[in-house]
Amino acid sequence: MDEFAKISIEEISKGDMLMIIKALEYTGENTKISSFIELKDAIVQQLCLLSNTNEEEFINYLEKNF
């Protein structure tokens, strides 16, 4: 298997991305393991940079189109 440092998300649907974000948030809040929240925040931050928007607008966009 080839090694890679990053993974592309271009093939993940908006609904699947929303589910991943919500699952990380839910798990972090219910287990009190900060790594889940930190990962969710990092993913959302990168997606917001790509879409030139803030977190609230981005999540609303995903929810609206789910």
Residue type for position 44:
V
pLDDT mean across residues, the chain: 90
Number of neighbouring beta carbons within 10 Å of residue 26:
12
- Tell whether the model's pLDDT for residue 36 goes beyond 70: yes
Average pLDDT over residues 26-40: 97
Instruction: Kindly state whether residue 22 falls inside one of the protein's structural domains.
Output: no
Residue 20 pLDDT greater than 70, yes or no: yes
Other CB atoms within a 10 A radius of the CB of residue 44 amount to 19
Query: Sorting pLDDT into bands at 50, 70 and 90, what band is 16?
Result: very high
Question: To the nearest whole percent, how much of the chain has pLDDT over 70?
Answer: 95
pLDDT-derived band at 9 (thresholds 50, 70, 90) equals confident
Please report whether residue 39 resides in a domain. Answer: yes
Contacts of 44 (CB under 8 A, 6+ apart): 21, 55, 58, 59
Do the domain assignments include residue 38? yes
Domain that holds residue 41: 34-66
Q: How many domains does the chain have?
A: 1
Single-letter amino acid, residue 58:
F
- Residue by residue, DSSP assigns 23-42 as HHHHHHHHH--HHHHHHHHH
